[in-house]
Amino acid sequence: MRRRTVWTAGGSAALAGVLVVAGLALTSGARERAAAPIATPSPTASVVSAPPPLASTPVPAAAVVDACALPGVADGLADGDDSAVVEAMGGARALREAVVAGTAPCIDLADPSHVWMVVDKSRPYSPRDYEPGGLTRVQDMRVFNAGVLRSDAGAALTALVTGAQEEGAGEIAITSGYRSYRTQRTEYAGQVAALGRRAADAVSARPGFSEHQSGLAADVVACTKRGCSSIEQLGSTRQGAWLADNAWRYGFVIRYEKGQTGTTGYSPEPWHIRYVGTELATAYHEGGFHTLEEFWGLPASPDYGD
């Protein structure tokens, strides 16, 4: 006789509980296996070595060129031919840059025999009673006082006066050119007597410090058929306007411009023109300069330092 297994109600419930627990355990394990990341073999890391640093090649310093050693410079200086010196140095701009950089020691800005010389309240003549050579009376213009300039400056002034008339600006005359040390001493003493020393220093140079002593500077006035105006009136005339725009074409610069007293030490003088030669005057104009101190890289000279 076969033995039968009899399931009771309690037994069935217990079995069901066992099955549920087993099922939950199986389900939970499957989830964990699904959530676990799949391990993949790590690739072998390859290290790329940086190239060795390149050996640094020393850069040679730029050679300093002595502009005075350029062909033709020494000959030009020996002959007193300033235009030849400018050309030999590669032009006025190159000459200026060499002077400012200190690579043109042969260009002496204190030598009044050259058109590039600078005289101001810090840079007097040496000797103080210096006298230029080659002085001559200017031609083909109305002249007041002596009307004497160095020959190169005089010829340039004649060309300027002619140019002003031909271009419709009107007549320009010279009222003052070269002044000797003695003449400047008298001129300055008169200004001191009239204005006092401090005020005189703003409008008149002390003897030994005047551009007029070089023979390269001139004071000019505007004239009509009725006569000539004063130097103080020049700036408001057609001639004064033309001079301000065109003096450089003839080798002159307006030496004491408005707004430059802090550099030059003088009140504005639109009538005072200084000859530097057409090459340098062109470089001065094109470079937008307003004083020779600025042009040559020199310190300002507002006073005599006493």
Strand, coil or helix: what is 274? strand
Our answer to whether residue 269 is catalytic in this structure is yes
CA 138 – CA 140 distance, rounded (Å): 7
- Is 200 in contact with 191 (CB distance < 8 Å)? yes
* Nearest to 150, CA basis, from 179, 175, 120, 121: 179
CA 197 – CA 191 distance, rounded (Å): 8
> Both tokens of residue 140?
């083909």
* Nearest to 107, CA basis, from 288, 276, 290, 300: 276
Catalytic residue, candidates 187, 211, 257, 269? 269
End-to-end CA distance of the chain: 149
CA 215 – CA 225 distance, rounded (Å): 29
DSSP bridge partners of 234? none
What DSSP string runs through 51-117? PPPPPPPPPPPPPPP-GGGSTTHHHHHHHT-HHHHHHHTTSHHHHHHHHHHT--TT--TT-TTSTT-
Which amino acid, residue 43?
P
> Both tokens of residue 203?
């409008």
Give me the active site residues, please.
269
